[in-house]
Chains A and B, each alone.
Chain A
Amino acid sequence: MSRSVNTLTRADLAETINRKMGFSRAESLDLVESILAHMCDAMGDGENVKISGFGSFILRDKKERIGRNPKTGVEVPITPRRVMTFRASQLLKERIAKG
C-alpha cells in the first residue's frame, strides 16, 4: 500500500532530531523509539500519560455491552476492555483550529 507523502513517521522525526541536534541517524531513531516505548510501558502499567503543551493519553475501562453485527444483525457480546483516548491540550487544539 502506498503511503501518503503527507504522513509523518518515526523516520521523519528521527531525521529532524539528526538535523537539529547533530546526533547520528541511528541514535536519533533510538531516541524516537525510546520516547514511544516509555509512553507504551507506562500505559501498559495502567498509567495515564500527560505531556504538557501537547495532550494527555487517558485509559478508560469499558464494561461489557451488547453489540450487533451490522451485516447479519446477530447480537454479540462485546467483552469488557481497556481503551486509550487522547485529549489534546488547549494549545494543540488552537494550533490545529488555526491551520
Chain B
Amino acid sequence: MIRSELLQALAKDNPDLRAEEVEQVVDIFFDEITKRLAEGGRVELRGFGAFSTREREARTGRNPRTGETVQVPAKRVPYFKPGKEMRERLNPS
C-alpha cells in the first residue's frame, strides 16, 4: 500500500469529504508524528506501535567505495516498535 492508495481507501470510507480534505488529514497525521519525534518526544498508537528516537554515538566510518575514513557525528535516529496486537495479527496461530 502506498500513500495514494491510503488516500483512496479513506475517501471511499468518507464520501462526504473532498479529496483535498482527505489529503490534509493524512498530512496532519504524519506531520504531527514527525514534529513530536523531531522534538525528542514519543508517539504511542496502541495496537499499532510506538515511535521514539534513539541516540547514536559519533563513530569513525569508512566510505565503502573509496576506503577513506570519515567521522560520523553523534545523531538521533527514529525507532519503531510494533504493538502487541499488530505482532499477533501478523502471526495468527
Interface of A toward B, CB cutoff 8 Å: 4, 6-10, 12-13, 16-17, 20-21, 31-32, 34-36, 38-40, 42-44, 47-55, 57, 59, 81-86, 88, 92-93, 95-99
Total residues of chain B contacting the partner, CB 8 A: 46
Q: Which residues of B contact A13 (CB under 8 A)?
A: 28-29, 32-33
Chain A nearest CB: distance from B86 CB in Å? 6
Chain A nearest CB: distance from B50 CB in Å? 8
Q: How many A-B residue pairs have CB under 8 A?
A: 133
B36 within 8 A of A: yes
- Contact among B10, B28, B90 for A34, CB-based, below 8 A: B10
Chain B nearest CB: distance from A59 CB in Å? 7
Known: A38-B1, A38-B9, A96-B76. Is A7-B44 also a contact (CB below 8 A)? yes
**A67 to B49 CA separation, bound complex (whole angstroms):** 24
Chain B nearest CB: distance from A12 CB in Å? 7
**A14 to B39 CA separation, bound complex (whole angstroms):** 19
